């Protein structure tokens, strides 16, 4: 096995998609001369992930995140390039590889709908050939961690979305995989449920030293779990490094939050992003922060002034909008 | 070996538990399915009576036996359809299944096999009621019962493999239903479903001899009601085995090529 849990070199996936214009004429024409177009979903990405790392894999819809995850999980054959995951070539889908990893996709139901989750867990035991004692110990520990003891005997169809997601995650981790691909695991869940799932992932990572690759549109997930992020856009890696570095590299502005003694128009100092009477937030260029702070303190009646880095999702949104 | 047996047991158990949740729906489905053989039974019994009490070696009593046994064989024959393949691709269920360290064919066979135990259990009272109404002529020997018990599982496996082959066409196109309709029409005529094989014209019987359909329908029924000699009974089981072997080989080949094309579009 190589030193990296995941090693990806110039990985590409090109889809050939049929294409035709609207209308009857175009439909007839396409019968005789069908037209196809090549779409590069992943256009040559390279990165390495060390064992035990939790890495956020970020990008807007259609950036190539899920396609990359599917290639790394062995669901898709890459068009070119190389991927080694836990020392295996994923698309060969060897039994030993599949037994050591899991891919959890948000809103995906792998549990038996009409049966209690306990029955689906039992099936997972047989599929992954988990020794019975180990299975019971893991199941009970996860049930306790997720606080779902009272729900285990209820048919899955009677569970709420959040409860179902907890059960999905337990089911996906019963075989204690060393590698987790988590694709939007908290999508559609309320903040309490999101937090509980985040805590579970963090404690799983600590307890078993598992490597985690996480995609999420909720920056709270990324901020809570990932010290490193890989940002992908148009199928290419745009940034790979610490989460904090993302702000340094891409945020060309800072935010100044002000408490004023009396309401005032501050639009001459920068872009007003929030204005609630005496509480105002300004967005100003990073290079001018010292100068503008000094001017504000000198020219306005200010009770409090705080300089903040912009919210991470704001930074990411701007990166994707400008690239 | 223990691992795969455990998997089959657990999967079949899951199917039994899930299908018992739907026991009423299963029963209504089974009752609805009776309309088809009853029509065949009434038509062919009338033909037999009009022709002096027998047609193609069948009397109204043996026709009744044929079509009552038909109801069980038909239920054993229900396996995963191309519609279900399309659905599971769209829902992302195929992707989820491909992440498991076990071939999807195993889980499909095990799940449907478990379901069949529920079906057989539900079938007995229905068969008893039909027997009371239509008075079948049925005096099978022990050998015939034994061969029938094996042949219905052989039929199940052959049809599972056939429809798996057709389902895998979804790796190339997500619209395989039209092909299934064509398959269904050929199967209806050349399997013994519409009419016992002995009533088919010679050319159709010869053609059917080269195809697997009669081993999924006509053979199991005739094994119980057709008074076949022992060599035909055992020979039939052997031919079922050959079709299972060929089916497994083809499934393996198509799977290897098809899985490379799989787009994992669902979910």
Each residue of B32-76: pLDDT tens digit? 888 899 999 999 999 999 988 888 889 999 999 999 999 999 999
- Give me the residue label for tokens 């939007």: A184
Pairing type for strands A54-58 and A211-215 reads parallel
B204: tokens are: 């159709």
Better-predicted residue by pLDDT, B110 or A276: B110
The model's confidence at residue A249, banded by pLDDT at 50, 70 and 90, is confident
Average of pLDDT values for B234-249? 97
CATH number of A251-322: 3.30.70
Instruction: Report the candidate in B184, B155, B179 with the shortest Cα–Cα distance to residue B247.
Output: B155
Which residue(s) pair with A82 in the sheet? Answer: A9
Q: What percent of chain A has pLDDT over 90?
A: 51
Give start-end residues of each CATH 3.40.50.300 domain in chain A: 6-247
Instruction: Provide the pLDDT for residue A28.
Output: 75
Contact of B170 with B86, CB cutoff 8 Å: yes
**How many angstroms separate the Cα of B221 from the Cα of each of A142, B32, B145, B197?**
51, 20, 11, 11
CA distance A125 to chain B (A): 9
Check whether A90 has a pLDDT greater than 70: yes
State whether B17 and A70 contact (CB < 8 Å).
no
- Give how far Cα B233 sits from Cα of B27, B82, B145, Å: 31, 31, 10
- What residue ranges of chain A are covered by domains with CATH 3.30.70? 251-322
Nearest CA of chain B to the CA of A119: how many Å? Answer: 7
**With contact defined as beta carbons under 8 Å apart, do A43 and A62 qualify?**
no
Rounded to the nearest angstrom, the minimum Cα separation between B192 and chain A is 36
Partnered with residue A254 across adjacent β-strands are A284
**Does the structure show a pLDDT above 50 at B100?**
yes
Inter-chain residue contact A126 with B6, CB threshold 8 Å:
yes
Residues A212, A180 contacting (CB under 8 angstroms): yes
Per DSSP, helices labelled H in B168-229 are 177-190, 202-209, 218-225
Q: Where along chain B do its domains lie? A: 2-261
Cα B267 from Cα B13, distance rounded (Å): 27
pLDDT at residue A154 greater than cutoff 90: yes
Q: What is the pLDDT of residues A176-229, one digit of tens each?
A: 999 999 988 888 888 888 898 999 999 999 999 999 999 988 888 888 999 999
Whether the Cβ atoms of residue A278 and residue A262 lie closer than 8 Å to each other: yes
Taken in order B218, B220, B225, B227, the sign of the CA dihedral is: positive
Cα A238 from Cα A251, distance rounded (Å) = 14
Whether the per-residue pLDDT at B197 is higher than 70: the answer is: yes
Chain length of chain B: 267
Which of A75, A101, A120 shows the shortest C-beta gap to B264?
A75
- Which of A99, A101, A127 shows the shortest C-beta gap to B7? A127
State the pTM of this model.
0.85
CA of A91: which chain B residue's CA is closest?
B260
**Tell me, what's the pLDDT at B265?**
60
> Which of the pair, A35 or B88, is modelled with greater confidence?
B88
Confidence (pLDDT) at A1? 46
pLDDT score of A108: 66
Question: What per-residue confidence (pLDDT) applies to B154?
Answer: 98
Distance CA B61, CA B55 (A): 12
Q: Please name the CATH architecture into which domain A6-247 falls.
A: 3-Layer(aba) Sandwich (3.40)
């Amino acid at each position: 096995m190589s030193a990296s849990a995941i090693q990806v070199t110039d990985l590409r996936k090109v889809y050939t998609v049929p294409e035709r214009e609207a209308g009857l004429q175009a439909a007839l024409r396409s019968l005789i001369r069908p037209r196809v177009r090549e779409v590069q979903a992943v256009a040559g990405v390279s990165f390495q992930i060390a064992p035990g790392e939790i890495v956020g894999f970020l990008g807007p819809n259609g950036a190539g995140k899920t396609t990359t995850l599917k290639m790394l999980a062995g669901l898709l054959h890459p068009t070119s390039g190389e991927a080694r995951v836990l020392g295996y070539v994923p698309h060969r889908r060897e039994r030993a590889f599949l037994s050591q990893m899991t891919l959890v996709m948000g809103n995906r139901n792998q549990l038996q709908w009409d049966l209690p989750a306990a029955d689906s867990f039992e099936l997972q035991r047989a599929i992954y050939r988990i020794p019975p004692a180990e299975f019971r110990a893991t199941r009970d520990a996860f049930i306790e961690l997720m606080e779902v003891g009272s729900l285990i005997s209820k048919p899955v169809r009677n569970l709420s979305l959040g409860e179902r997601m907890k059960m999905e995650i337990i089911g996906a981790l019963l075989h204690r995989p060393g590698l987790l691909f988590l694709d939007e695991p908290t999508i559609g869940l309320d903040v309490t449920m999101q937090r509980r799932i985040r805590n579970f992932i963090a404690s799983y990572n600590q307890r078993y030293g598992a490597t985690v690759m996480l995609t999420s549109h909720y920056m709270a997930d990324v901020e809570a779990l990932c010290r490193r992020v890989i940002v992908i856009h148009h199928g290419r890696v745009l940034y790979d490094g610490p989460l904090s570095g993302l702000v340094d590299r891409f945020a060309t502005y800072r935010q100044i939050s002000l408490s004023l003694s009396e309401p005032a128009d501050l639009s001459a100092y920068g872009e007003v992003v929030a204005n609630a009477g005496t509480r105002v937030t300004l967005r100003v260029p990073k290079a001018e922060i010292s100068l503008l702070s000094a001017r504000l303190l000198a020219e306005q009646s200010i009770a409090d002034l705080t300089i903040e880095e912009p919210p991470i999702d704001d930074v990411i949104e701007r990166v994707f909008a400008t690239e | 070996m223990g691992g795969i047996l455990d998997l089959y047991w657990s999967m079949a158990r899951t199917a039994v538990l899930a299908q018992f949740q739907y026991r009423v729906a299963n029963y209504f489905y089974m009752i609805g399915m009776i309309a088809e053989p009853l029509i065949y039974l009434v038509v062919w019994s009338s033909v037999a009576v009009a022709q002096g009490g027998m047609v193609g070696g069948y009397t109204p009593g043996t026709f009744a036996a044929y079509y009552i046994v038909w109801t069980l064989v038909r239920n054993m024959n229900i396996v995963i359809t191309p519609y279900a393949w399309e659905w599971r691709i769209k829902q992302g269920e195929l992707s989820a299944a491909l992440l498991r360290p076990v071939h999807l064919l195993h889980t499909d066979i095990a799940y449907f096999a478990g379901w069949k135990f529920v079906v057989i259990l539900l079938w007995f009272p229905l068969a008893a009621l039909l027997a009371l109404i239509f008075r079948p002529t049925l005096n099978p020997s022990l050998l015939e019962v034994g061969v029938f018990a094996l042949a219905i599982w052989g039929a199940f496996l052959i049809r599972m493999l056939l429809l798996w082959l057709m389902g895998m066409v979804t790796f190339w196109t997500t619209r395989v239903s039209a092909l299934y309709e064509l398959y269904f029409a050929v199967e209806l005529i050349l399997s013994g479903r519409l009419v016992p094989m002995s009533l088919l014209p010679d050319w159709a019987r010869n053609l059917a001899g080269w195809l697997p359909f009669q081993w999924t329908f006509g053979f199991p029924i005739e094994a119980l009601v057709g008074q076949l000699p022992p060599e035909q009974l055992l020979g039939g089981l052997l031919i079922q085995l050959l079709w299972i072997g060929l089916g497994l080989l083809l499934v393996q080949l198509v799977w290897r090529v098809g899985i490379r094309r799989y787009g994992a579009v669902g979910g």
